[in-house]
Amino acid sequence: MNFTPQETKLLQRLRKRERQWRWVRWLMLVVGVFCVGLCGAFGFLLHLFIPAFSDHGAINANMLLLILVIWTQCCLHLVLGILFIATVILDWHGNVNRVFLLKLLDAQEKGV
């Protein structure tokens, strides 16, 4: 089977991604756990700072802005951490479609 230059370039990229996945999965797992931990730390800080800065139970505008910024960061880190961890769990042994395609191509090249 003959491939066009674009297809050959795509196959080279797929092979490169498959080789890199061995160490990228560990990096993604560490980053995911770090992001979830950061979310927990931001949430804990938010829990500590709300009573400390409130004035007799009333929250002023500056405190509301601080809560909004910290809560946004907390949610962002939680989503990214869960996304990274889920990707690593689902593709621990490599992307099934990519691995299957590369094995089929290797078998076809050996047979030709």
Q: Which burial class, exposed, middle or buried, applies to 19 when counting CB atoms under 10 A from its CB (0-12, 13-18, 19+)? A: exposed
Segment 68-93, tens digit of pLDDT? 888 898 899 999 999 999 999 999 98
* Lookup: tokens for 32: 């995911």
Average pLDDT for 100-104: 89
List, in sequence order, every residue forming a beta bridge with 55; answer none if it has no partner.
58
pLDDT given at position 62: 75
The pLDDT value recorded for residue 80 is 94
Mean pLDDT of 91-97: 88
Give residue-wise pLDDT tens across range 19-68: 999 999 999 999 999 999 989 888 888 888 777 666 666 667 777 787 88
Q: What is the pLDDT of residue 30?
A: 97
pTM over 0.85: no
Is residue 107 pLDDT above 80, yes or no? yes
Can you spell out the DSSP letters for 14-49? HHHHHHHHHHHHHHHHHHHHHHHHHHHHHHHHHHHH
Every domain of the chain and the residues it spans: 35-111
Strand partners, 58: 55
CA atoms within 13 A on the CB side of 95: 14
